[in-house]
Copies of this chain bind each other. A is one copy, B any other.
Amino acid sequence: MAEKMTIDAAVNHVTEPDIAEEVLALGRNARQAARDLANRSSEEKDFALTAMARIVRTRSSEIVAANVRDIETAQEAGRPAAFIDRLSLTPERVEAMAAGLEEISTLPDPVGAVLAEWDRPNGLRIQRVRTPLGVIGMIYESRPNVTADAGGLCLKAGNAIVLRGGSEAHHSNWAILNCLTEGLRAAGLPESAIQMIATTDRSAVGLMLKGLEGAIDVIIPRGGKSLVARVQDEARVPVFAHLEGICHVYVDKDADLDMARDIVVNAKMRRTGICGAAETLLVDRAAAETHLQPIIDALIRAGSEVRGDEDAEAAEDRVTAATEEDWATEYLEAIISAKVVDGVDEAIEHIARFGSQHTDCIVTDNVATAEKFLTQVDSAIVLHNASTQFADGGEFGMGAEIGIATGKMHARGPVGVEQLTSFKYVVRGTGQTRPV
């Protein structure tokens, strides 16, 4: 994937003056559009979103045809099957994009919501009110549906967005963007609210990471680990992202075996390629004799490889030896590491050392043990008796999400419409001045 190899170079790449000017002009237009959007009504934004959905549906065959060109190029370049799958747009996937835009239009408008309000003894009334964040910069790889999802979510929150998709999805992304632009136009909203960087010059990414001279408020990368790592490393503006999801399921001595088995198998195997998939099973030593072998057996029968510590190896012949590296590995495939720990305290320690602060789960019938785990594990999402695969904005009831963040600032966990906002304090008085 092009970005993976080029971002390092991009940051220090000398940009051709005309390319830089083109990209920076796009940033200025985005800033201007954001100022305009911040004051538009919910009705105008929702009108645009439903218009976009309608236009995407109408042009479904055009979008698929554009996508075929990208797929042919990718096939000629010998891209692997998983890459081609991420890139592919079937009529069903185009319909899902349209439905996603419609769903976003039905979400409550976060802008203007009063988050808190109180009165002061001197009669001042203070409100904390949600505002748009401003301009979002989105850097993504091969999935063209991100163009519609990100564009729609940012518009709903009153933000402008600057998109930089992977060059492999070039034709697909532009076909989708044209639908979004037309939807904006139909609603009388500024077309610069959703823009895509046209140049394939690698320096454009470097300019985005530097914030387009103050035009970009936050960067959201979507793609493989090396893309995200480089964006996090090089960006000079805030980044909403998760580097990886090394998610744990800890099975406590007080866990119900059937529940533990169901949750572990679901957490690992429902989908192995998503960030909320479990990568490590931790089993309480006090439950090892009863729970360890049945859970490992269920994992293996569900198709997972199991790499374990000595205890796990001893419990089940088909377990191979885990190395130290396994505890820090996000497999994203049908492999899980398994380890016996001395109770919830060692589980918490293990997660603090090897986890990625994404999503971690405890299975236990003991409420006190659960509360300890939920309080002390410092992850964006902590679950009691539920699968880690619920780490998803849709499953949280937040509507669509633009990604999941593991940073502690501003947005943590699923990043939906609300997380794409900021706030301001509105203070109403009757002539108050401040005494000396």
Q: Is the CB of A425 within 8 A of B389?
A: no
Partner of A429, one of B38, B385, B426: B385
Say if the beta carbon of A280 comes within 8 Å of chain B.
Answer: no
Say if the beta carbon of A376 comes within 8 Å of chain B.
Answer: yes
Say if the beta carbon of A78 comes within 8 Å of chain B.
Answer: no
Q: Is the CB of A422 within 8 A of B434?
A: no
Say if the beta carbon of A352 comes within 8 Å of chain B.
Answer: yes
Closest partner residue, chain B, to A436 (CB atom): B270
Say if the beta carbon of A430 comes within 8 Å of chain B.
Answer: yes
User: How long is the Cα–Cα vector from A431 to B375 in the complex, in angstroms?
Assistant: 20
Report A374-407 CB contacts with B as 1/0, cut-off 8 Å. Answer: 1110111111111101100001110000000000
Say if the beta carbon of A410 comes within 8 Å of chain B.
Answer: yes
Interface residue stretch chosen among A69-77, A99-107, A118-126, A311-319: A118-126
Q: Is the CB of A431 within 8 A of B38?
A: no
Partner of A352, one of B35, B425, B430: B35
Given contacts A118-B397, A385-B432, A431-B262, contact A408 B38 (CB under 8 A): no
A41 to chain B, nearest CB (A): 11
Q: Cβ of A218: which chain B residues have Cβ within 8 Å of it?
A: 409
Say if the beta carbon of A266 comes within 8 Å of chain B.
Answer: yes
Say if the beta carbon of A294 comes within 8 Å of chain B.
Answer: no
Say if the beta carbon of A151 comes within 8 Å of chain B.
Answer: no
Given contacts A126-B397, A133-B408, A378-B131, contact A385 B431 (CB under 8 A): yes
| Interface positions of A (Cβ within 8 A of B) | 35, 38-39, 112, 118, 120, 124, 126, 131, 133-134, 217-218, 238, 256, 259, 262-263, 265-267, 270-271, 352, 370, 374-376, 378-387, 389-390, 395-397, 408-410, 412-413, 422-434, 436
Given contacts A126-B397, A262-B433, A266-B433, 10 further A-B contacts (CB under 8 A): A120-B396, A262-B431, A263-B433, A267-B433, A381-B425, A385-B428, A386-B429, A386-B430, A386-B431, A412-B424
Can you show 15 pairs from A to B with CB atoms below 8 A apart? A35-B378, A38-B376, A39-B375, A124-B395, A131-B378, A133-B409, A217-B408, A374-B426, A381-B424, A381-B427, A383-B429, A385-B429, A386-B428, A386-B429, A387-B433
* 7 nearest A-B pairs in the assembled complex, by CB-CB distance: A386-B429, A266-B433, A408-B422, A410-B410, A259-B431, A389-B434, A383-B427
